[in-house]
């Protein structure tokens, strides 16, 4: 009787723990618990997936070639600074193509000096034969191009994850797909457009000087209607000085809400990039208008101080993704490593800008390849259909077992109920995400839950046909079915593990419920039903078994 008592205690403990772990999944029940129970139990239970509570599913593609161009542009700036530091005069240095740098100079005697200086900087460039007597052409090595592209995918993945974490989405799915794609699933999102804008925004912050010495700067219109930017670019393209570009600032009239654009003539050279930021947060100005206050790291603070000291009385444009946010006049040298980005922000827009700046810039722009939005009503419909399917499948299995195996079938149904309770409790304890395929896994577990009992019952029937007493027949049936049950469960468990390791979100949801269901089914089939038969056989001498 001691063995039976021990197994009954174990079953009771497992049942109580499963129910306790499920309680956080039901907010109302969880609120009724005492404080000590809330501290012991998990803070949350089962989380519904994208297909059950609604949200967005995005497949994004990183523009790899643009990542290479950005890397080469940064090298151009670094080489330009080095040439200025070494006081070597060059006519121009610019990116030609996506992965080439061309240096032009008037004196042919400088060629050897420049070539020697750039032997080790940057080390991933190689000299090509495309140069002339007064020019040098360097090209990125193939290995470096591959590294930049692969790094761009990984950096985009990490940046998106950081942004979403600060956005506050529960249980997001962010993973790489193929060579250059990123899959993002955000369940429970109520503002899909804002989330997509936050994810897609490159957030490439740059500080550039305005070119106020050119005549074109005076000819540009003070203000143009929104949507007329391309016309302005075409109109002044022929007059655009070498090394300059036209960028626009967004202006919103407070009274009417109408949007305008102010064009600026900006030098292409980046004086300071956003990769030296250490913090970005929203602050309120003296006129109760939000702005974003940025703090540079030690290196950025030194550079910003040097740039502002060399350009007093000149205007510096703060550019984010090729859009001018403000172009203040530098009144004096700015020490301390602090600056501010002001504009016609709402509080939400300022918060989103601070998020993307803190999380870091994407290494290259993203294209949305696939965009699916699942509404909460569709999710509720999926839940209702899933519950109906589970109840229908369970009812059919329960009736079959009761009709075909009689009292023994009722015992199998008890094990099935215990299996489902333990499975739901385990999912809640692991804070698992339940998806529609996960519900399919639960329904499959119902079938597998009675499959083990069918094997056991058929072995017991064979023992009874041989004329063995009920108790010996039950023991013999369990012993003979044991290896078969373990073998079938282990092979299915291996399949579930493979699905979990190599599958995406919905497939993983199916694999989790399948693997947990199999492991729990072994326990309920071999321990749960056996203890009931042992109790029946110990209380009275059973001459005939209803099976």
What b/e sequence results for 260-293 when a residue is b if at least 16 CB atoms lie within 10 Å of its CB, and e otherwise? bbbbbbbbbebbbbbebbeebebeeeeeebbbbb
Cβ atoms 25, 426 nearer than 8 A: no
Give a yes or no: residue 330 inside a domain: yes
Whether 254 and 322 share a structural domain: yes
190's CB contacts (< 8 A; 6+ apart) are none
Whether 276 and 353 share a structural domain: yes
Cα separations (Å) of 445 from 6, 112, 271, 298, 482? Answer: 27, 75, 62, 58, 19
Q: Which of residues 373, 405, 438 is at a domain's end?
A: 373
Instruction: Of 358-362, 385-389, 538-542, give the range with the top mean pLDDT.
Output: 385-389
Angle at 195 between CA 349 and CA 156, to 5 degrees: 105
- Judge whether residue 1 has pLDDT over 60: no
Whether 367 and 258 share a structural domain: yes
Residue 429: band (very low, low, confident or very high) from pLDDT cuts 50, 70, 90: confident
Give a yes or no: residue 185 inside a domain: no
Q: What CATH number has the domain bearing residue 119?
A: 3.30.1240
Q: What is the longest distance spanned by two Cα atoms in the chain? A: 112
Whether 359 and 404 share a structural domain: no
For residues 35-44, give the mean pLDDT.
68
Give a yes or no: residue 299 inside a domain: yes
For residues 295-321, give the mean pLDDT.
87
Torsion angle defined by CA atoms of residues 363, 364, 369 and 371, in that order, rounded to the nearest 10 degrees: 60
For the chain, the domain total comes to: 3
pLDDT at 38: 66
Residue 341: band (very low, low, confident or very high) from pLDDT cuts 50, 70, 90: confident
For residues 370-397, give the mean pLDDT.
75
What pLDDT digit, counting tens, does each position of 86-142 carry?
787 877 888 888 888 888 887 777 777 877 777 766 667 777 776 677 788 888 888
For residues 196-215, give the mean pLDDT.
83
Residue 377: band (very low, low, confident or very high) from pLDDT cuts 50, 70, 90: low
Whether 384 and 521 share a structural domain: yes
pLDDT at 541: 67
pLDDT at 12: 82
What are the beta bridge partners of residue 149? Answer: none
What pLDDT digit, counting tens, does each position of 212-267 carry?
888 898 899 988 988 889 999 999 988 898 889 999 988 887 777 788 899 999 99
Beta strands in 91-152 (DSSP E): 92-96, 100-104, 125-127, 135-140
Structural domain of residue 459, as residue ranges?
A: 2-53+375-539
Give a yes or no: residue 161 inside a domain: no
Whether 448 and 516 share a structural domain: yes
- Judge whether residue 539 has pLDDT over 70: no
Give a yes or no: residue 498 inside a domain: yes
- Judge whether residue 514 has pLDDT over 70: yes
Whether 118 and 259 share a structural domain: no
Nearest to 453 by CA among 407, 399, 397, 412: 412
Secondary structure element (H or E) that encloses residue 338, with its range: strand 338-341
What pLDDT digit, counting tens, does each position of 261-306 carry?
999 999 988 888 877 878 888 888 777 888 888 888 888 888 888 8
Instruction: Of 52-56, 73-77, 354-358, 514-518, give the range with the top mean pLDDT.
Output: 514-518
What are the beta bridge partners of residue 261? Answer: 224, 250
In the 8-state DSSP scheme, what is residue 46?
Answer: P
Distance CA 350, CA 478 (A): 67
User: Would you state the structure tokens that stand for residue 234, as one six-digit string?
Assistant: 């075409």
Backbone dihedral region for residue 178 (phi beyond 0: left; psi -120 to 50: alpha; all else: beta): left
Whether 454 and 511 share a structural domain: yes
Distance CA 355, CA 165 (A): 10
Report the percentage of the chain scoring pLDDT > 70: 89
Whether 72 and 136 share a structural domain: yes
Q: What CATH number has the domain bearing residue 324?
A: 3.30.1360.200
Distance CA 341, CA 344 (A): 10
Mean pLDDT of the chain: 81
> How many CB atoms lie under 10 A from the CB of residue 10?
14
- Judge whether residue 210 has pLDDT over 90: yes
pLDDT at 211: 92
What are the beta bridge partners of residue 101? Answer: 95, 138
Q: What CATH number has the domain bearing residue 493?
A: 1.20.1640.10
Whether 355 and 446 share a structural domain: no
Distance CA 414, CA 408 (A): 10
Q: Which of residues 355, 373, 391 is at a domain's end?
A: 373
For residues 159-183, give the mean pLDDT.
78
More confidently predicted of 169 and 114: 114
Backbone dihedral region for residue 258 (phi beyond 0: left; psi -120 to 50: alpha; all else: beta): beta
Q: Which of residues 341, 373, 405 is at a domain's end?
A: 373
Whether 396 and 471 share a structural domain: yes
Whether 47 and 81 share a structural domain: no
- Structure pTM? 0.59
- Judge whether residue 544 has pLDDT over 80: no
- Judge whether residue 411 has pLDDT over 90: no
Give a yes or no: residue 151 inside a domain: no
Q: Between 470-502 and 505-523, two packed helices, what is the crossing angle to 10 degrees?
A: 160
Give a yes or no: residue 530 inside a domain: yes
Give a yes or no: residue 180 inside a domain: no
Cβ atoms 246, 269 nearer than 8 A: no
More confidently predicted of 220 and 151: 220
Residue 43: band (very low, low, confident or very high) from pLDDT cuts 50, 70, 90: low
113's CB contacts (< 8 A; 6+ apart) are 88
Distance CA 324, CA 541 (A): 90
């Amino acid at each position: 009787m001691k063995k039976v008592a021990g197994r009954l205690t174990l079953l009771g403990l497992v049942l109580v723990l499963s129910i306790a772990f499920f309680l956080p999944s039901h907010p109302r029940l969880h609120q009724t618990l005492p404080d000590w129970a809330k501290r012991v139990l998990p803070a949350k239970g089962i989380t519904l997936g994208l297909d059950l509570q609604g949200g967005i599913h995005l497949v994004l593609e990183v523009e790899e070639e643009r990542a290479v161009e950005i890397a080469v542009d940064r090298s151009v700036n670094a080489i330009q600074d080095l040439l200025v530091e070494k006081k070597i005069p060059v006519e121009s240095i610019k990116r030609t193509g996506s992965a080439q740098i061309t240096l032009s100079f008037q004196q042919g005697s400088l060629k050897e000096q420049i070539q020697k200086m750039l032997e080790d900087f940057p080390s991933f460039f190689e000299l090509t034969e495309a140069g002339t007597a007064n020019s040098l052409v360097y090209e990125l090595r193939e290995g470096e191009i591959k590294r930049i592209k692969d790094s761009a995918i990984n950096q985009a993945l990490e940046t998106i994850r950081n942004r979403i974490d600060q956005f506050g989405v529960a249980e997001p799915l962010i993973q790489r797909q193929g060579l250059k794609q990123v899959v993002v699933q955000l369940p429970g999102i109520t503002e899909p457009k804002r989330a997509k804008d936050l994810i897609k925004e490159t957030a490439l912050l740059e500080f550039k000087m305005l070119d106020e010495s050119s005549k074109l700067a005076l000819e540009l219109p003070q203000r143009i209607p929104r949507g007329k930017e391309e016309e302005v670019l075409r109109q002044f393209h022929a007059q655009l000085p070498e090394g300059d570009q036209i960028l626009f600032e967004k202006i919103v009239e407070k009274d009417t809400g109408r949007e305008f654009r102010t064009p600026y003539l900006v030098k292409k050279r980046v004086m300071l990039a956003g990769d030296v930021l250490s913090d970005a947060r929203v602050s309120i100005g003296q006129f109760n208008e939000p702005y974003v206050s940025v703090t540079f790291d030690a290196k950025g603070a030194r550079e910003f101080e040097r740039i502002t000291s060399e350009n007093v009385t000149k205007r510096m444009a703060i550019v984010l993704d090729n859009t001018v946010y403000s172009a203040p006049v530098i009144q004096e040298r700015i020490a301390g490593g602090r600056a501010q980005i002001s504009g016609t922000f709402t509080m939400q827009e300022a918060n989103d800008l601070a998020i993307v700046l803190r999380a870091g810039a994407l290494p290259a722009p993203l294209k949305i390849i696939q965009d699916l939005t699942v509404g909460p009503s569709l999710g509720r419909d999926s839940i209702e259909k899933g519950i109906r399917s589970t109840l229908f499948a369970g009812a059919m299995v329960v009736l079959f077992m009761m009709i075909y195996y009689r009292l023994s079938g009722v015992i199998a149904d008890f094990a099935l109920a215990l299996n489902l309770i333990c499975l739901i409790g385990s999912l809640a304890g692991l804070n698992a995400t339940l998806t529609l395929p996960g519900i399919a896994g639960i329904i499959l577990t119902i079938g597998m839950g009675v499959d083990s009992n069918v094997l056991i019952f058929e072995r017991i029937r064979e023992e009874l046909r041989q004329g063995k007493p009920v108790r010996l027949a039950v023991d013999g049936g369990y012993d003979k079915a044991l290896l078969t049950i373990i073998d079938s469960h282990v092979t299915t468990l291996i399949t579930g593990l493979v699905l979990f390791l190599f599958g995406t979100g919905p497939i993983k949801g199916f694999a989790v419920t399948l693997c947990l269901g199999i492991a729990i089914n072994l326990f309920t089939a071999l321990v749960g039903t056996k203890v009931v038969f042992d109790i029946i056989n110990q209380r009275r001498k059973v001459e005939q078994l209803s099976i």
